[in-house]
Amino acid sequence: MKVAIASDHGGFILKEYLLNHYKKQNVILEDLGTYSEESCDYPLIADTLCRYVLNKQCDLGILICGTGIGISIAANRHKGIRAALLYDNEVAHLAREHNNANVVVFGGRTQKKEDVVRYLDTFLDASFEGGRHQRRIDELDKVGE
């Protein structure tokens, strides 16, 4: 599985932690920036990663900002993106099982690094159920047309 990761300045430290942690686990995360704690705009970061996902340059995206909220909103403006803010193990499991999220989101200033790793591992270990959930996912792209 190819996974891209990106953050704004508020998520930079957590992004760097995840890059290092998963490198030791032999999981390659493609870093799409930002590359420092210098202030930057999360909508632009989300746009870059979402285009990467939508163009099938990766299988999954990880976005991080200070709280995870702003970058979630920005990501979910893209038709075809299902960004889920993961904040506990059950949500992480259901985001994959029911929603087939293709972008997961974390808060660099609001979540503990160890918890984020646990939620991400839970998400990656889960599988999409399909069935009634696929019908609902298909409806998402029709909403607002």
> Domain spans of the chain?
3-140
Residue 21 among the catalytic residues: no
Is the CATH number of domain 3-140 3.40.50.300? Answer: no
pLDDT at 28: 85
Please name which of 4, 145, 2, 7 lies closest in space to residue 79, comparing C-alpha atoms.
145
Cis peptide before 34 (omega within 30 of 0): yes
The amino acid that residue 124 corresponds to is L
Q: Cβ neighbours of residue 134 under 8 Å, at least 6 residues apart?
A: 100
- Name the more confident of 60 and 145: 60
Q: What is the mean pLDDT of the chain?
A: 96
Rounded Cα–Cα distance for residues 80 and 141 (Å): 6
From the candidates 65, 78, 93, 133, give the one annotated as an active-site residue: 65
81-109 pLDDT tens trace: 999 999 999 999 999 999 999 999 999 99
The Cα–Cα gap between 52 and 96 comes to: 19
Q: Which residues pair with 7 in a beta bridge?
A: 64
Q: What are 4-39's pLDDT values in tens digits?
A: 999 999 999 999 999 999 998 878 899 999 999 999
**Which residues are CB-neighbours of 105 under 8 A, at least 6 positions away?**
62, 63, 64, 65, 68, 71, 72, 75, 83, 84, 85, 86
Kindly name the residue from 21, 78, 98, 133 that is annotated as catalytic.
98
Question: Catalytic site residue 98?
Answer: yes
The predicted pLDDT at position 143 comes to 82
